[in-house]
Amino acid sequence: MIKATAPGKIYLFGEHAVVYGYPAIACAINKRTEVEAEKTRNKDITIIPKNLSFKSIKFSFGDENRYNIPKKELKSLEYIRKSIKKILDKKDQKIGLKLKINSELPISGGLGSSASVTVATIFSLKELLDLDLSRREVANLAYEVEKDVQGNASPCDTFTSALGGLTKVEKNKELIKNKAPAIPIIIGYTNQQSNTTKLVEEVKELKNKYPTIINNLFNNIKKITEKGQKALEKKNLEEIGNLMNINQGILDSIGVNNLKLSKLIYVARESGSYGSKITGAGGGGCMIAITENKEKVSNAIKVTGGKAIKTKLTNEGVKIT
């Protein structure tokens, strides 16, 4: 039996603008998905999920029509099924497997839950079946799975989950991994799912309508991200916070905020944060705050109807436990 865990991620700066080639910075967080994998005597694949959107399921490849779960819930299973297939295809063997999967990450919350499930599944199986794959190769396989399931995807989530640490993302450039800064953060979850595809589409429409305005805003996000990177290196909390607040103002102006997120962002600031902003696509999902008053800020988030997620930035990518 092998157990692997892979982290989720947050965006510190640059989401949405990154879709148009501007830089962004993400970082792995110590909220993880654990996959416990073992071989079984028969040829069935059994998946036992905890905190995912479907119940336990048993199937064999070629027999998928037997699935009897609603389409919406099927998506979570698809990341796992395609990850298993990627590894079994490499082994060219028909074997039975049992996978127990447990995630600490909210689904569609902007914290990279699908990437962490995919990376942890691939990593646990490559260990179980003795395949020689580096973390980068695991990240690439997981990216292929995400693209396959979603139609398109950013390589950021799978890369960050596989390697850990801070990721600098820039279109058509290799992703760069740096050390995660030791800065105190709190995540606030709205308890609403975030629809990345829809929000990216809405931003595209706004950009088509007002190209000069939106391009200027994205250019400013680029400057914020570049300054933000330096502030992160220096662990200058005040500057990181200020830049997050400015980045948030721009995210608000391109229409990816909503009332619940906005309330969490403002209560976090008012209860003693250096800065706070949406993380990821917005329109629900999560916000982040940089704060040394973690108790006060998480209480304020809870009182405002959100879920406070206490975590740390981490250098640990996918690993065997």
The residues of the shown chain that bind ligand PMV, judged by CB under 6 A, are 15-16, 18-19, 110, 112, 154, 194, 196, 200, 280-281, 285
Q: 121, 102, 114: which is closest to 146 by C-alpha?
A: 114
Q: How far is the CB of 284 from ligand PMV (least distance, A)?
A: 10
CA 194, chain centre distance (Å): 12
Residue with the CB atom nearest ligand PMV in the bound state:
280
Q: How far is the CB of 29 from ligand PMV (least distance, A)?
A: 12
* Closer by beta carbon to ligand PMV, 200 or else 206: 200
Give the sheet arrangement for strand 286-290, strand by strand.
275-279, 286-290, 185-189, 307-310
* Closer by beta carbon to ligand PMV, 16 or else 207: 16
CA 62, chain centre distance (Å): 30
Q: How far is the CB of 23 from ligand PMV (least distance, A)?
A: 11
Contact present, 263 and 237 (Cβ < 8 Å): no
DSSP string covering 29-49:
EEEEEEEEEEEESSS-EEEEE
**Cβ atoms within 10 A of the Cβ of 176, count?**
14
Annotation says 157 is catalytic: yes
Strands 96-103 and 45-50 turn out to be parallel
* Closer by beta carbon to ligand PMV, 29 or else 52: 29
Q: How far is the CB of 47 from ligand PMV (least distance, A)?
A: 23
Active-site residue, selected from the candidate residues 89, 130, 157, 252: 157
Q: How far is the CB of 111 from ligand PMV (least distance, A)?
A: 7
Q: 165, 236, 168: which is closest to 18 by C-alpha?
A: 168
Q: What tokens does 35 get?
A: 């996959």
Spatial separation of the C-alpha atoms in residues 193 and 12, rounded to whole Å = 19
> Among all chains, which residue has been given the structure tokens 């027999």?
63
* Closer by beta carbon to ligand PMV, 16 or else 135: 16
* Closer by beta carbon to ligand PMV, 271 or else 311: 311
Contact present, 136 and 317 (Cβ < 8 Å): no
Spatial separation of the C-alpha atoms in residues 6 and 119, rounded to whole Å = 6
Q: Which positions are annotated as active-site residues?
A: 157
